[in-house]
Amino acid sequence: MKCLRVRRLRGVHAGFSMIEALVALLVLSLGLLALAGFQVRVLVDSVGASNQNLAMQLAGDMADRIRANPAAAATTPSGYVADWSAAAASGPRPSCEGARAACNSAELAAHDLWGWKRAIAAALPGGVADVRTSATAGGMLFVHVAWDEPAVLDPIAPDPDWQCPTGKTCLEVAVAVPQP
């Protein structure tokens, strides 16, 4: 009689451990799904940070080019002022590349803009750029870099004066132009 009770207790508890295992598996899978979502968000944010870092480096590159060519930068209108259009497929003539290149300051400015715009288009998704001057900020040029950042949920709206292309993330760098 005693053996019969032991068998019944084992039978009741055997099914209960299977339910516990299934619930534990469900909780574990939900936790892993949450971790996977978190990892995807971190990867998206790191791509955005990388794009912003590249944009800042490229804007700094143009700022250095402007400061290195003060004769073209200080003219009115500045040789470095450009709109949002993409760079042409072929470079300006005469070419300012190589040790024997003989370019004047305006030709060097055109070459700098062409190479810079091509570098932005190659480095950033949907990358475009412009350089503006302001009548109220004498001796200043404003370098703008814009790119596609589809992962941004709530992008920070750029200043409307920048005239940033619609749907793009924009960055501005102000460059003080040395006067010759």
Residue numbers of the chain with a pLDDT score lower than 70: 1-16, 135-138, 151-157, 178-180
Residue 55 lies in a domain: yes
Residue 45 lies in a domain: yes
Residue 2 lies in a domain: no
Residue 6 lies in a domain: no
Write down the pTM of the prediction: 0.73
Residue 109 lies in a domain: yes
CA 107 – CA 129 distance, rounded (Å): 19
Q: How many domains does the chain have?
A: 1
Residue 14 lies in a domain: no
Chain centroid offset of residue 166 CA = 15
Residue 73 lies in a domain: yes
Residue 105 lies in a domain: yes
- 163 conformational bin, left if phi > 0, alpha if psi -120 to 50, beta if neither: left
User: Residues 47-81: pLDDT tens digits?
Assistant: 788 888 999 999 999 999 998 888 888 787 888 99
Of residues 93, 145, 136, the one with CA closest to residue 117: 145
Asked if residue 144 lies in contact with residue 129, where contact means CB atoms within 8 angstroms, the answer is: yes
Domain hosting residue 108, numbered range: 19-176
